[in-house]
Amino acid sequence: MSVEDPPRTAFLAHIPFAAGVAGLAALIDFAAGGQGVGVSSALAALGVGVGAGAVLGGVFAGALRGLRPLPVWGRALAWLAIGAGLTAWLMDQLGVFARFGGKDHADAVAAAVAGVGAGLGLAILGFVAQPSTDKPAWLSRTRKRPLWTGPLLAVGAIGFIVADRQVGVDNYPAAHTALRVMAVLMFTITGVACMRYWPRRLRLPAWGRRAGAGLLALPFAWALVVVDGDRDLLAGLLARPFSSLSLRTLRTLGDVDRDGYSPILGGGDCSPFNAAVHPFARELPGNGVDDNCVLGDLAVEPPPVDPPVPDTPPPTSVILITIDTLRADHVSWGGKRNTTPEMKKWSESGTRFIRAYTGGSWTSLALSSLFRGVYPRRLVWNPFYETNRFRLLRSTEMDQLDDGELLKLKFGLPAPDKYVPLQTYLKRRGMYTAAVIDDGSTGFLDASTGAYPDFDEYQEVSGKSLDVAVTDAAIKILDAQPKDRPFFLWAHYFGPHGGHSWHRGVPRWGNSVAGKYDHEIAWTDKQVGRLLQRIDELAKEREIAVIITADHGESLGAKRRTHGVGVGEDDIRVPLVVRGPGFAPGTTSKQLVGTVDVMPTILKWTETPAPEGLDGRDLAGILSDPASNKNRILVAETWRFVANGDATHNMVTVFDGTYKLVCNLLDEALSARKQQGDKPLPYGDPKIERLQDALDQYLERTGPPNFVD
């Protein structure tokens, strides 16, 4: 083919080039993930990349072919429209418009700039690769153009790959998808442009091109055969950016009934032509159908029996102190810095549990679970929608949106259902129930939501120095309690969660993310210390049991910190200190426990019969009979939704203190590992199988988050 001839193979050439680029990227990425790479797994990784790359190349080639007859200005406008479509999709997926003007305004501006840049970049790529009816693509018209633009495109592609690995790794999946796709397209377009100037002796004849396509198809066929039955291989593929994108792309194409799950490549859909049956469906007991493709049809269980209300008064009052976003390895008895000297000194009069875990990695899930003694997915949730002005609205309040106010995220807050909250049981038996809450700007704990009913007194502090205000209000409530009436007081501190500010009278550990976080912890500790001092004074005159814990932990990065997007140890391991009947002072326990144990412990203290079916256990009972807790498996999870109801995060982890199994329910990805550490483990170990069974049993009885208006 001479340079002057119009390109007869320019369109189809994009398919094998994209397949090769994506296949190589998936293979290298998979191999770099630390998985044991054999011939079979390497071919499978190559195959999923080849398959997804061929799809991408085919779509791009189809666009080039379809736009070829248009005049130059028409092709330019068409590619600008395609780029604008990408920008609009990214804006929607990233929630850009709903974040303008709020606390995330800077992130929204950055996302908007990135979205426009991605759309413009795609438009430019398409235009320079677009041939006309009588001319080759602009990029291929002279030898010089691919020689100087090729390296630029390659450098740009590498830059996108670096950004994919370094920026917002656990967030913004749509943006990362765009980065990976753009990188593959850049390498593909460069390769096709350079191919035009290969020496004739290096060009493959038609039969050679067909043979090459057949060779590329072989690893794809191999992947279809082996991936579905190899859970270790599947976990490795889904753990890496390029291989996971390729796998998810192929699954999407195989999702015939459009229920979000595929019958191929480990997608888990056991009924590919029935959209009501898939791994994320709710199992309906007794309907004769395995709705969620796990463990068959679920048997119908009898409704729980409401426990009796005792006539005798509770023997003790109880105080529950929860601290938002406090991870276990950043308190004085668990970390390297003396961040919590007040709580450390006080904890010597109680029992420290150094292996305590929350049920959810963000506040709504964590505290809802704590106050009901069950894991989050077992609850019924009322949907609430957060707007760009940080208001929470029910689905029936959408007509109350102000001008310019947009829905941003969908949340759940627990609805009155069969799992009655702790304070309701305590109030029924005559205890005075009070709460002092600092909820920051989230609104999750606002009294108007109805998520925390049956408090005789519910104070939400406001203004400045909120940790100080929580302590002041809590002390005022304590001082007002008559000595002959048992009470339950909940005090929730928000300090470590909120924005950073410097406080006098507490240590500073520098300007790093971790240093600022620890400074906020130290400030909150100082205020909690004042409350603990007053509790000790009152405890000389009456019986008062106390629990101190956190709702969830925090992941600390180099530039920012997050929670609720994962279920790692940083997110779910929390401090827990208990002082009261059955807890020896000055002791430390290594028993595996959870915040779901708080409710049954308090019910036991107050001699209040516990309801049936709790996931939690009495902590004093665990200490008195450690053998009863030996084989325990705990559950933690997170899930988040955008305003239209699409899930952005949906993860469940089960763990026994030694091993941990994490399931990403968005793509049925399973990852087994040591609980302390990130090294993947094979599924052959019987302990992993035990965790798999526990995970299956949990999901069989819960399913997706149950939202009810």
Query: How far, in Å, CA of 262 to CA of 541, rounded?
Result: 64
Predicted pLDDT at 527: 96
Q: Which residues contact 671 (CB under 8 A, 6 or more apart)?
A: 235, 238, 239, 661, 662, 663, 664, 680
Query: How far, in Å, CA of 413 to CA of 434, rounded?
Result: 20
Decide: 373 and 392 in contact? Cβ < 8 Å. Answer: no
Least confident range from 412-416, 562-566, 682-686: namely: 682-686
Tens of pLDDT, residues 496-546 = 987 778 898 899 999 999 999 999 999 999 999 999 999 999 999 999 999
Q: Where along the chain do its domains lie?
A: 317-374+420-631, 380-414, 633-709
Tens of pLDDT, residues 635-644 = 999 998 888 8
- pLDDT higher than 70, residue 24: yes
Query: How far, in Å, CA of 20 to CA of 18, rounded?
Result: 5
Tens of pLDDT, residues 173-197 = 778 888 888 889 888 888 887 776 6
Q: At what angle do helices 39-67 and 105-129 cross, to 10 degrees?
A: 70
- Strands 647-655 and 706-707 turn out to be unpaired
pLDDT (average), residues 662-688: 78
Burial 234-265 (b: 16+ CB within 10 A, else e): bbbbbbbbbbbbbbbbbbeebbebebbbbbbb
Tens of pLDDT, residues 567-580 = 999 999 999 999 99
- pLDDT higher than 80, residue 208: no
Nearest Cα neighbor of 474 from 498, 491, 449, 494 is: 491
pLDDT (average), residues 309-329: 95
- Rounded to the nearest 5°, which phi and psi values hold at 319? -125, 125
Q: At what angle do helices 39-67 and 231-238 cross, to 10 degrees?
A: 50
- Rounded to the nearest 5°, which phi and psi values hold at 636? -140, 155
Between 149 and 654, residue with greater pLDDT: 654
- pLDDT higher than 80, residue 688: yes
Mean pLDDT rounded to a whole number for the chain:
87
Predicted pLDDT at 90: 81
Tens of pLDDT, residues 91-133 = 877 777 766 666 667 767 777 787 888 888 888 888 888 888 8
Predicted pLDDT at 168: 65
- pLDDT higher than 70, residue 198: no
Predicted pLDDT at 4: 39
- Strands 432-437 and 487-493 turn out to be parallel
Cα–Cα separations (whole angstroms), residue 536 to 64, 141, 533, 635, 676: 76, 84, 5, 34, 36
* CATH classification code of 317-374+420-631: 3.40.720.10
Tens of pLDDT, residues 54-96 = 999 899 888 888 888 889 888 889 999 998 988 888 887 777 7
Query: How far, in Å, CA of 435 to CA of 185, rounded?
Result: 56
Predicted pLDDT at 433: 97
Predicted pLDDT at 34: 64
Q: What whole-number percentage of the chain has pLDDT above 70?
A: 92
Query: How far, in Å, CA of 32 to CA of 664, rounded?
Result: 21
| SS3 assignment, position 344 | helix
Q: At what angle do helices 14-31 and 206-226 cross, to 10 degrees?
A: 40
Rounded to a whole number of angstroms, the CA Rg of the chain reads 29
Between 452 and 709, residue with greater pLDDT: 452
pLDDT (average), residues 327-347: 94
Predicted pLDDT at 10: 61
Predicted pLDDT at 509: 94
Query: How far, in Å, CA of 184 to CA of 190, rounded?
Result: 10
pLDDT (average), residues 34-51: 84
- pLDDT higher than 50, residue 547: yes
Q: Which residues contact 616 (CB under 8 A, 6 or more apart)?
A: 373, 374, 594, 596, 597, 598, 599, 600, 601
- Rounded to the nearest 5°, which phi and psi values hold at 631? -105, 25
Predicted pLDDT at 202: 53
- pLDDT higher than 50, residue 1: no
| SS3 assignment, position 90 | helix
Predicted pLDDT at 102: 63
Burial 148-177 (b: 16+ CB within 10 A, else e): ebbeebeebbeebbeebeeebeeebbbbbb
Q: Which residues contact 525 (CB under 8 A, 6 or more apart)?
A: 339, 340, 341, 342, 343, 506
Predicted pLDDT at 136: 78
Predicted pLDDT at 199: 53
Decide: 421 and 371 in contact? Cβ < 8 Å. Answer: yes
- Rounded to the nearest 5°, which phi and psi values hold at 259? -95, 5
